[in-house]
Every structure is written in structure tokens, then in C-alpha cells.
Amino acid sequence: MSAPVPALVSTGWLAERLGRPGLVVVDGSTYLPGSGRNAAAEYAAGHLPGAIFLDIEATSDQRSPLPHMLPGPEAFAARMAALGIGDDDHVVVYDGSGVNLSAPRVWWMVRTMGHDRVSVLDGGSGKWRREGRPLESGLVGRPGAVFTPRARAGQVRDLPAMRALLESGAEQIVDMRSAGRFAGTEPEPRPGLRGGHIPGSRNLPFNELVSADGTVLPVEALRARIAAPGILPDHPVVATCGSGVSACALIHALHLLGRDDVALYDGAWTEWAGREDTPVATGADR
């Protein structure tokens, strides 16, 4: 059995191990609509040596009208195998956001499919670049591999489950969008969505889980930041956001704190606010 790997690794840790057999570095960058950034083009222009590019939208349920929904186990496994990620590989994923926007989403998908040998690069490619570490351009491919999915139950909440939570309160709903989007005072980046939040949810913007240099807050500061909006340490959590990406930053952070009683509402605000039969609250308070 392979030894466990840390859920978060430093740039120094990775620099010492680049090129080792069984280590797969993944650029999992994606950006909000309207950001003006093209993750694939940025990857081709410059990425960590040997890193492959994982397109989150392409690694999604292609049958769903919602953005980048988690695919089924077989489809996910086929995608990983085609990318050259195998059962015994240690995957280290980063993004270029500077605020840990999408790397945790890739980490979550891989773990949800039963592959625990996956880590997030602390500080992402921004910290790597600031340290003057090497980059390369162009595309990187790997030989095909065998990826065996072992999907974990209970990792995702769907719309009926979220409706039930409004009545039961069995899990805390934590919305990782910005305070303005949560309150309904800022426009949504996707057209046609109402502003506001799911009634009863707490707000914790995902970018507040990192320091100024883009690295994850130290453990005690992270614990305090998560507790600040009233998130209880002994009550299960459902994380949500705009489209199921940035919410994974909370799932990753809680894992670092030893908590795995967390699920993702994958349809997120895009699904909830895109309907006419779901209640929406506005304002900063619950």
C-alpha cells in the first residue's frame, strides 16, 4: 500500500521532487466568466515543468446543462486515464489564480473518485513564479494510464437534498461567493441569475482562506477564519458557491483541519438561482 501524501505541499517540496516517477503535476486553472483570462492559453505560454493541463469543463458531465458538474465514475476514470494519471500516481495540482480558486476543485474530484494520493500546491503558480523557479511553454502529454474509480458516497448534495436542508437544518450551508454576491448587491457573472443566497446559509468568501501571498492560512488562523461566520465545528457542512468550484476551497481547508464531514452542492448558485421555484434571501445576514 502506498504511503499517505499531504493534502498541501510547498513549492520547495515540489521543486525537490519534479521529474520523479509517479509524480504528476497538474495545472487545474479555470477562471470566472468575464475575467478576461484564458486558462489554456496561459498554460501553453508558461507552466511548471512537466505539468499537464486539466480542463475542468472538459472533465465534467457533458450531459448536464450546468457548468462543470462532476461526471460519473467511468467517465471521470476515462478522462484521468487519457491524461496519463494512474492508480499509483501522486497528483499535485495548482492553479494561477493567486487565491486557490480551482486547484481544490481538482483535488476534490480526484478524492471523490477514491484516489487519495492528491495534493494542492500551496500558493500555486504565482508563488512558484515569484520565487524564480523554472517554467516551460507548450503542451505536455503523458502516456495513457489505468485509473480505477472508487467513488465515495455522500460527497455531493443535489437540489432535492438542498431543499430538504431548508427544513431540517441537518447540515450547515456555507456559501463561498463574495460578500456582495451573497448579499445580492453585486451582479452575478453568469447572466440570468438572481442575486442573494440560499436562506439560512453562512457566507465565507473563498479568497479569505489564503494569506496575501496566496498560501493557505496557518492552521489556527484558518480555524478562526472558518469559525468567524458562525460555522460550528461539530455540525456537518455543505459548501456551495457560484458553480461548484471555489466551494471546494472550504472542503480542502476543513480537511487540513481534520474534518471530512463536508459535502458539495455541485449545482450551486447557478442551479439554485436559475430556477423560479427556489427561495432566495438577500442582505448580509442569514
SS3 label, residue 174: strand
What angle in degrees, to the nearest 10, is found between the helix axes of 219-227 and 248-256?
Answer: 130
Give just the sign of the alpha carbon dihedral 280, 232, 159, 178. positive
Q: Tell me which residue of 197, 204, 205, 179 sits closest to 281, measured CA to CA.
A: 197
Contact 253, 262 (CB under 8 A): no
CA separation for the pair 35, 263 (Å, rounded): 27
Q: How many CB atoms lie within 10 A of CB 194?
A: 16
Please report where in the chains the cell 476514470 appears, as a residue. 77
What are the C-alpha distances in Å from 105 to residues 57, 95, 121, 123, 178?
11, 10, 13, 15, 18
Is residue 248 flagged as an active site residue?
no
Catalytic residue, chosen from 48, 113, 241, 249, is 241
CA separation for the pair 123, 145 (Å, rounded): 28
Which residues have C-beta within 8 Å of that of residue 151, sequence separation ≥ 6? 73, 112, 113, 114
Residue 151's identity, in one-letter code, is A
Where in the sequence numbering do the catalytic residues fall? 241
